[in-house]
Every structure is written in C-alpha cells, then in structure tokens.
Structure 1
Amino acid sequence: MHAINTLLSRPRRFASRRLVYLIFGLGLFAFAFFVLSPQEPVIAPADSPTGATPPKHESKHIVGEISDTLSKSILNPFREPAHAPSRQKQDTYKGTSWWADWKWLSVPFSSSVTFDEERALLPPLRERTPIYCYYDSTIKKPREEKDAESDLLRTWRRAWWAHGFRPVILSASEAISNPKYNELHRMDVDPDLKIDLMKWFAWESMGAGLLANYALVPMAPSDDPLLTFLRKGEYPSLTRWKGLDSGLLAGQDVEVNKVLRALLDSSSLTTAKSVIEIVGKEAFDIDKTPTSLAFYTPEAIKKGYSEVAGIFASSRAKGLSSLNKLINAHLHMVWQGRFPDGIEVLQPLPDHTTFMVEPALKLANSLGYCPENPIPYSCPPNVYRCKHCTAGSTSMKISTPSEYRNTSRVFSLGTVPHPWTVASLDNLEENIDVSWIVRKSSRDPWLEALTQKLLGSHVSGNLRVMRFKQAVADDHASTNALWVTAEREISMDLDWHFGFAIPHPEPKKTGEDAKEEKSKEKAIKDDSSRNAKREALAVKEASKPDLVPEEYVELVEEPVALTPEETKAKERSLLDEAKRIVNIPKLTRETKVRASLEAWNLADTEAWKFTRAYMARRLMERVEWEKEEAKYVGGAGSDKGRSAWSRWRDQKEQAS
C-alpha cells in the first residue's frame, strides 16, 4: 500500500520535486555535451615531419577536455560575452577575409596572429603612386573617335596599373578648379598653349607628382631602375626626360606653382605654343633617354609605323584603333620576351589532376599566343631588336612540371587546391571521413611535391609554407608567377594583372582530334570485349566444383580497374564535388570532416587560404578603384567604356 500523508490525506510522491529537477538538469547537460558540442578535429603534432604517419595510439578521435568544452559552450551560464577580434578596413571580399601585417613572414600559420582560422595573414597592401594624364572630354568630336580614344586610354591605364601605379585621367574639371584658371580665362593665348596650360593646371590641382601622355606606356620588367624610382613618389626637382619632350614630367606642387606663376607673368605668353617653350630648359632637370618607356608620338608613328600612319590619314578613329592594337601587341610581345624558357603550368600530383589544372593550361596557351598586330614584324619605339610573333601562332614553350623552380627565365602558373580536392582526386576517393583521413591519407602531399626540388625531402611543413608565401606575395613575385585556387573560376580581370589584353583563341580542330575520336572508339570496343571475357570466365568458374566449403572462404573485395575514360569521368565528378564541399559556408557534417582534413594538412591548408585571400584582395583593390574612377571623364578609359550620359551628349552634339 502507498504511504498516506496524514495531513493532506493523499498519496506521498515517489520522489521529491527537487530530485526531478536534478535528473532533468543532468539529462540536459549530457545532451548538450555529447550532441551539441562540436567534435574536435584531428590535430597533427606541430613538430612532426611532413608526411609522417602517426603512431597507432593517436589514430583514435581526440576529444577536448570537459572544462574546455563547457567554457566555450553556449549553454555555459557563467561565460561572459567576448569582443570579436579587431578588424581592418576593406578586409573582406566575397566571403574571404584577411589581416594585413608586416609579420606575415615571421610566422608560418596565420591563426597565430589573427586568432581566426578563416582569416589569412597577408603583407600590407603597397600604396600605389598616382600617375596622371590629361584628356578633355568636352571637345566636340565624332562618337567613333571618342570611343577609340577611350579604348586607348584603357590600354594606358592597364599598362601602368600592372607595374604598380595608380593611373588617373584628369579632365577640364580639375583645371577649372585651379585658381589660376581665372587668369588664363581673361587672356588671349594660342589654342595649343591653352590646352597645354589646362593640363598643367589640372596637374597642379592634384598636388603634382607624375604627369604622362596617354601614348606613353612602360615596356620593361617591374624591377627596372626607372620604374622603381618613379614608384617611390619622391621627386626632389622638376624633371623631364630627353627624347620625351612633355611626354613624362615629375615634380612637386611647389615647383609646378613657381613655373606656372612665372609663365602667367611672362611677356611671351601670347606668342608661345607650349609651356616648355616659355619656361625654357633651365626650369627642368633633364635626365637621359629612358629605355623602359615607349612613346608613340605622331613623329614616331610616321617614321616607324607607316601602315598605321596611313590609316590615320584616312580616318582618325580607325587610326587610333589601329594604334591601340599595335601598342597592345607590343606590350604582349615584350612580356613574352622576358621568359625565354616559356610558361610552366605546375602540376605537383600529375596522376589525376588534369582537369584541375585545365583552366591554368588554357590561360598559358592564351599568354603564349601571338596577338593581333597591324604590323606583325614591328618592334616598340624603345626596343631596336625584338622577337617577332605572327598572329595566330604560339611563340612560347608550355610545359607541366610537377615541381616549382624559382627562376626568372620562366613564368609559373600554379593551381593551389584545398586539401579536400587533393585527397579526393589523388586517391580517387569519394567517401572521406575521419577514419580514412587518419588511416590512409598522407599529410601535406601537395606542398611537399611542389617544393621537393627546391627544398628537398627533409624539411618541415613550416618552412615549406614560408617559402611558398614568398613565391606568391614577395616583392616582384607577381611578375614571375601567378597562383590561383582550384575551386574558383580564374578571375576575368587578368588583363590588368599582366598589363595587356589577353587573346582568347578558339581551339582549332586538327588531325589530333580525329585520332582522339578513333582512340575513344577503340577504347569502347576494348571495354566491350573485356566485359565479354569477364562474363565467360565467370561462367567457367561457376561450373567448377567447390574445393573449400563456402562458409570458410573469406571474401576479399578487390578494387575494380577503371578504363581511361572511366577514370577521366570520375576525376571530373570528384572535382565538381570537391568544389561544392569546399565552398559550403554553413556547418554541416561535410564541413566537420573538412575541418578535420584541414587540421590534418596544416601546411596545405595554409597555402590554400593564403592564395585565396591574396587573390581576393588583389581583385577587390582593382574593382573598388575601377568603380571610383568610372565616375570621372564620362567613363572614358574604364572597362565598361564611356557612360550613357556621354553617349547621349554625343547625340545632342550631332543633332545640333
């Protein structure tokens, strides 16, 4: 019988209410600890050599301590809110984040400085020295002529941007904002001198610096002494260069102000046609003729490029378009001539990564392709002898080595894969889990294979990461190599990285295609005959008497050999699946395994994250600058071309 409470005349409870609450609390704690707490990924020992296999007692999944799990859990009632790590301006682009610091080469792994596994540690972004050119978009001209000038301005901007400068197009708006413009407006001067003065006024309004003609482009390596000097942005005196006239000027605003003040007070202002003619040579330091700059003056075009000069005589718009193609072809040819040993598309694990490096190989073919050139056997004005390149042919050797060479004789194209991509492709593995990672996968195989020749085999992953970062982001490293990630499309703004418009030739069908088709048909026939033989052999084996009882036979599942076509299809499928998993932003079962794989391949992961962040920052820098500069000069010289407002104004001018 149940005990009866004499006071209330009702059955006594089986357990007190406090005990029920205690049991409920313990159950909730157990649920939070074993279910909600994130699993600790498999961590590789920091001092273990690259590729070393851990002992068997470390193959079990490592679980964090209870105190650490409780302190980080959202169910911990005693946990105080923590501030997020400090951020920098413009440190994120399309889901990729970074932290810029001079310590980028002092530590191998970014998280030791950023305290964030997803934030890469990059070198500080170098400030680009501005270089100005003047273009008056208010002058009435035919629409075709303005469009051709806009294309030529884009070529000028692209060439200087690739060499580390920030090209800026000035217009009459900057000149009018100069207080000296009011004095000029009241004077009667020659039209040519007025145009030249407007250019100087606009230049002074920007604080001086570098002023160039938009027909002047750099055609030399980025480490050229003159280009290095110009990038510093320190010009102690007003300087111009022999043979360039006013094609390139350098100076400070104080000196420019003195020149303009003396010019406006000069008595020869009404008769001269240029600023240099009035102030004379005494106002400038004249340096020797530069060999790293190409200046396409009207005189140089008539003397060395008669075909283009003839087109100018018939139509200025067509002449500008032809000149633009000529300059772009010369920029491309000079770049090709810098690498006598050709282009190397790096493929450290060559067995099953053909599709992975296919975009880089396509880019290499485009870079080695000879561009369209109105005068195929011509050289730039600053180069007397050059390697000629016939349009439609390939002038560079393209190879796919497995190891990186630190040499300036080749241009290297590297495709950096995520550890998941490496594991799935190199092993043709579809099912990756923690057990497979620990038992069958090697550590940092991609980076070790890439630097094997450069560093040898007895080197830690830390040193390999440091050398890799230097190859990606060191001074002038981008001039000899380009690194991209395997899981994202190659950026379409590479024209600005190289400084010229990259041609995109259409693949031509040749006899090789026919041979490939025949080989495919032969492979299909071989597969069918092979399958028939397998079936006949299976029937023959089934008819034999069993020598051993079936219950004692151990079934061993052997891997099925894939045909070349089946292997290619599987490689492509695995690559697509790897791209999907690597780009998953949310926490899922796959991302937990991905985190374990990243922890198992710390060096490969750091190389991938560093490359991804470096690419994203480079693209963000140019996109933001392009967006800002497109607001001026009616969009002339921008990627999108002249703005709709400028074109509407052209129509109004033609109608009037």
Structure 2
Amino acid sequence: MPRNPCTYLPRRLQIVATLTLFLLASIYFLGTSTTVSPAVDPYLAQIPYAKQLQSSAHHVVDNLDKHLPALGVNVNAPQWLNPFRGAAHTPPPQQANSSSGEARWYSDFKWRNPFSSSVTLDEERAVLPPLRERPPVYTYFDAAGRRKDAVSKQAEQDLLHVWRRAWWAKGFKPIVLGRPEALNHPQYRAVQTLELAPELEMEMMRWLAWANMGTGILCNWLALPMAAHDDPLLSFLRRGEYPELTRYAGLDNGLFVGTKAAVEAALKATINSPDVKTVKSIVEAIPADTITTDSSHSGIAFYSTAIISSKYAAIASKFSLDSTVSEGMSMLPPLINSHLHMTWQNTFTSGIAVLKPLAEHTTTLIAPAIDIARNLSQCPETPIPASCPPNRPRCKPCVSSHMLISTPPVFRNTSTLFTIGTIPHPYTLTSLRHDRTTLDVKFIRRETSRDAWILAATKELLGTGLSSFARLVSVKEIVASEYGSARGLWLTAEYPPEISSSESKDLEELDWTFGFSLPRSPMDDGKSETPVPGRERRPPPPKQEFGDSTPPTDAELANEVRLMELARRHMGSAAGNLAAELKVREVVEAWNLADAEAWKFIRAWEARRTLERRGWVEEEDEFSKGVFHRWIDKIT
C-alpha cells in the first residue's frame, strides 16, 4: 500500500511543507494580474460588456492618483484604497508669530521631547515651551502739574523706560496708564464733583485708571523689582492671583495688588467716606480692614521723596532748590540703573561662567560671550558711588571687587553662577575642530565623532553613561525652564549679538533681558575718572582654561576667525540655495542629531524672546507716545 511521502518527515516539517505548497499554489493560480478573456473563462462570456467594464476599472485605478490632488487629497492612490493602511500623523498648524528669519518654532507643552521633529514632523521647526503669561503691572503718569523744562521731561521719560525694562525682565507686562484710562471709569464724574486735596485727587486718578483695566498690580513708577528672579514676593506677583487687596509696609502708596472687584469696592468706600475732603490718601479714607498690609517682603525698591532725603543726600540737596531740581531728576535714572546692575551682581556671587566645552580651536567661537561677561562684570556708572538700593542697605557695592569670569569646560548647575553658553552648529564645530574649509560625506562619516558638544558640556552634570539623545531633555530644561532661563544666556555661534556699538539693537535687547542698561563706555586705559570709590575700569578678559592643550597663537586665532566667517556664510540663506552645500549641511546634522537639535532649539528660543519683546514694545509705544505728546502739547 503506497504511503504519503510526507509521513517520512517529522510532524512540524509536515505542517511547514503543507503550508508552503498551499502558498505556492495560491500565488500560481490567484497571483496573476493579467486580464482574462471571456474565451478562456466561459463565465465572463455571460456578463454583458465584461471586457469594457474590466478595462474601465483598470483605467480608474491607474489614474486615481492624478485626480486626488484636485480633490484636496494628497495621498498615493493604491495606499489610499488599502483598508489596512496605518494612521498617518499630520504636522501641527502654523501658529501666529512663530518665525523670525530662518528660525521657526511651535509652542507646545511637549517641548521636553528629545527631538522636536517627533511633534512637528518638520526637521527645521523647534518645539518651545508655551509663552509664560505675563501679569500686568500698571503705573500712572499724568503730565498735568509736572515740571515743563526739557531736562526734567527727559529725566522722567528715562525713569519710565528704566521702570518698564526692569519689570519686563522679571516676567511682567508693564503698562503706563494716563488720564484717558481714568476718564473711562464710570465713577470719574462722581470724583470730579468732590473737593479733594491735590494728593488724594491724584491718587483717585491712579485708582480709577487701575480699576478701568481690571485685576493686576498698581505700582508707582519709582518702585522697581530689586531682587533675584525667584524672590518670594516677585514669585507671588508673577502668579497673577491676588485674593485680597494688599499694600506693602514701608512702600507707602508705591505698590498695591488686588482684583477688580476689590479695587471698585475701595473706590466706592472712599467716595462715600465722610472724611474724603480732609484726607490725603485712599488708605486713610477707607476702613482699616479693607486693605491688607504685608510686612514680610524685600523685593521692591521705592525711591520716594522720603527715601531720597534720608539715603541719597547728593540728590536730595538738588531737590531743595528750584534751580537744581531738574539736575536732581537727571541723576535718578543712572542711580537706579546702577542699583539694578549691582543687585544682579550680588545675586550671582560665584561669578559668570562662559561655557567652553571643547577648548581646542574654539577660542574665537566664545569671544562674543566673553565680551558680554566683561560688560556684566563691569561697574556701572552712578552719581553716588558705593550706594545701596533702599531695600538692600547691606549690599556689596561694585567698587569693592569685580565679578569672577571663568571658562569652565562643563556646565555646572549652581544657583549663584550665571552661565553664558555659545552653541555652534555641527558644521561650524566640525570645521573649527578639524581645520577644514570644506566638508564631504566621506570625511564626516569616517573622521568625525558624533555630538561632541553636548557630550562634553554635560559630562559633569549627567556623567558619561547617557547617550547624547538622552541628554537633550536636560539641555532644554537648562535653557528654557523658569529656573534655568533666569540663570543663563544662550547664544548661537553663527548669529552672535553685536555689542561693539553703543547704538546696537542687540545690546539694547540684552538690556531688556537683564533689566538694566549694560555699560556702554568702558575705560580701556585702566584709569579711574573719579577718586576711589568711583567708576572702575573694565575687567580684563578671563584666563581661559585649555585643559591639556596649549593656548592658541595669533596665527591660529586668525585661522579660527577665517573659518568662523566661512561657516557663517555657509549657514546663511545665500549658501542655503546651493544644493551641494545644503546636502553637506544636512549630512552633518544627520551625523550629529543631538547637537543639531540643541542648536535649533536655542536659535528658536532666542528668536522668540526677541520677537515677543519687540512686538510688545511696538504695541505699547503707541500709548506711551500719547502720554508724552499730551505733555508736549501743554508745554509748547
């Protein structure tokens, strides 16, 4: 009796052989895609117009991809018809004000993802954290009754500019109000019918303008944040939630916080007060329990008349004579600016770290960062040397010592150390480290290491065991978290700020970032113009750390400058139009994915910060100009 040949095989091989034969038979009989004529298949002969229907069906499928774009469907036809196709992600929509130059970004809470392209599906669009909401801080300025000479006018404009810049740097949105905002309040006419003391009338105008705007902070334009970014009072104010109408002990009427309802209630109580015609402030007119007083604070400096008289005799003496009042006014802006700068220096007692992870051939790369560090460590000009802010009587004046500037090879997470980091594009870093003017794919793949910058910069913070991809999250938090952004300034090597000119827009941008005006006129001759304590000369460049390598010679530095210029031209938009150079750039980025991601993130972070500030200034300047134009109308 014949036997099945498969029985000679093991059980498992019998199953495999059977499945293989079945698969081959299916492919042979069913896998053909050729047209079967009715002559071969008798069943097709019974279908009317079978050949025409079959031909039309093939024509529709073959040309479907040509008609889908016209219907708004951008997909391959066979894949679109496949019921088992996978779901496809679509790029997130473009957001308003999400680009500046070549930098593009998308604001989203997924910004901690190592690679932005996993969210944006775009290699060139970085994911940034959503913009932090800036709570409004209001001040009131009215030209009526102000001194009309040009010197006083300019001094008050400078004081308002100093006030706005200081509050903006601490995370607030400073807004200058005037009489038009008070006129918009329904209680304005009721206030005008009262016979108020001049001091109370001015105070009522301030509160009417504040109530017209709503919940927020009412601040005198001589009250400024004079503390570290994470000061308890400033952190509370940034939250934007003020459960009670509150004033602050020692600041008189310099600072109030509250909701719109609480401010309206205080205004109504003042208008209905039987003592409204005799008191000089709202605090005196309303019941004591209407406003809460906070005595535990030290983050605000108020340069009131009483404070100036008691602490700054040189300015107070000018105010004592009508002929020198304008001179005293002009001394206030540089004094306040010097105190803001000094407070910043006292916050970072460990000095300034100019990050230099790869010492060899990168001296020119960090040169702009060192210039900024020298400006920050320089003593500001002040009319009263060795003076301290009103809220910090035990400060450490700048004339006693300079800040230490160092060039560490690694990032150090120290709260008292301010870091200025310069990250190069991988193309720039590869050119400098290997002293090459041109790069090619073969050299990049065989002769260069991957993600050299991020591995070197985070070696001490994260150790040596993590991959470069895992380090990206920490780098992004160092740059963009609220804690990290207040303790560091991050630049891209290809687009450094221009600070050589006192009129530079980049230097002005740094002023708004730090909250004070950086020194414009350093004394390079090493001599002090005034007796010590007085204005000090600019600090010398730091002694850079080169590790095991030797300091570069003049010829090597000149070569670094040349390579940097070539790399910047290559990174520019003109070079990007050349297909060959663009391909090399893409290869370098693909070989250094982590370094390229960090560079794009920092580029977008700085571009968005600049765009946000300039957009706000342009919007707010329209109202500020109106305030001063009304003043000009009164004095001309």
Task: Give, as a single letter, the amino acid of the residue that structure 2 aligns with 1:498.
Answer: F
Q: Deviation at 1:364?
A: 0.1
Provide the secondary structure at the position in 2 that maps to 1:446.
helix
CA distance in 2, matches of 1:185, 1:403: 64
CA distance in 2, matches of 1:454, 1:79: 53
Match of 2:260 in 1: 253
CA distance in 1, matches of 2:66, 2:561: 49
CA distance in 1, matches of 2:427, 2:526: 37
Aligned with 2:601 (options 610, 630, 650) = 610
CA distance in 1, matches of 2:483, 2:433: 32
CA distance in 2, matches of 1:372, 1:506: 10
Q: Deviation at 1:311?
A: 2.3
CA distance in 2, matches of 1:453, 1:84: 37
Task: Give, as a single letter, the amino acid of the residue that structure 1 aligns with 2:612.
Answer: E
Aligned with 2:358 (options 324, 349, 374) = 349
Q: Deviation at 1:330?
A: 1.0
What RMSD in Å do the two structures reach over aligned CA positions?
2.1
Q: Deviation at 1:629?
A: 0.6
Pair 1:498-2:487 in alignment: no
Task: Give, as a single letter, the amino acid of the residue that structure 2 aligns with 1:624.
Answer: G
Map 1:58-457 to 2 at 5 A. 80=69, 82=74, 85-105=92-112, 107-139=113-145, 141-314=148-321, 315-390=324-399, 395-457=402-464
Provide the secondary structure at the position in 1 that maps to 2:110.
helix
Task: Give, as a single letter, the amino acid of the residue that structure 1 aligns with 2:114.
Answer: P
CA distance in 2, matches of 1:79, 1:425: 49
CA distance in 2, matches of 1:319, 1:586: 57
TM-score by length of 1: 0.76
Provide the secondary structure at the position in 1 that maps to 2:361.
coil
Deviation string 1:307-336 (CA, Å, 9 cap, x unpaired) is 111122342322122111111111111111
Percent identical residues = 44
Task: Give, as a single letter, the amino acid of the residue that structure 1 aligns with 2:364.
Answer: F
CA distance in 1, matches of 2:221, 2:526: 42
Provide the secondary structure at the position in 2 that maps to 1:211.
strand
Conserved 8 A contact 1:366-1:505: no
Q: Deviation at 1:181?
A: 0.8
CA distance in 2, matches of 1:622, 1:77: 47
Q: Deviation at 1:280?
A: 4.0
Q: Deviation at 1:134?
A: 0.5
Conserved 8 A contact 1:137-1:634: no
Q: Deviation at 1:207?
A: 0.6
Q: Deviation at 1:607?
A: 0.5
Q: Deviation at 1:510?
A: 6.9
Runs (4 or more) in structure 1 with deviation over 4 Å come to 76-79, 81-85, 652-655
Conserved 8 A contact 1:629-1:635: no
Conserved 8 A contact 1:425-1:574: yes
Q: Deviation at 1:653?
A: 4.2
Question: How many aligned positions are there?
Answer: 517
Provide the secondary structure at the position in 2 that maps to 1:610.
helix
Match of 1:461 in 2: 468
Q: Deviation at 1:394?
A: 6.2
CA distance in 2, matches of 1:425, 1:79: 49
Q: Deviation at 1:178?
A: 0.7
CA distance in 2, matches of 1:274, 1:507: 47
Conserved 8 A contact 1:152-1:320: no
Deviation string 1:547-567 (CA, Å, 9 cap, x unpaired) is xxxxxxxxxxxxxxx993332
CA distance in 2, matches of 1:399, 1:581: 31
CA distance in 2, matches of 1:566, 1:291: 52
TM-score by length of 2: 0.78
CA distance in 2, matches of 1:443, 1:79: 43
Q: Deviation at 1:94?
A: 2.4
Conserved 8 A contact 1:243-1:289: no
CA distance in 2, matches of 1:254, 1:162: 29
Provide the secondary structure at the position in 2 that maps to 1:431.
coil
Deviation string 1:551-590 (CA, Å, 9 cap, x unpaired) is xxxxxxxxxxx99333222211110111111122435211
Deviation string 1:522-554 (CA, Å, 9 cap, x unpaired) is xxxxxxxxxxxxxxxxxxxxxxxxxxxxxxxxx
CA distance in 2, matches of 1:608, 1:427: 20
Conserved 8 A contact 2:138-2:177: yes
Q: Deviation at 1:635?
A: 6.1
Stretches of structure 1 that go unaligned for 5 or more consecutive residues are 1-75, 512-561, 637-641
CA distance in 2, matches of 1:507, 1:325: 17
Match of 1:58 in 2: none
CA distance in 1, matches of 2:580, 2:275: 81
CA distance in 2, matches of 1:635, 1:565: 54
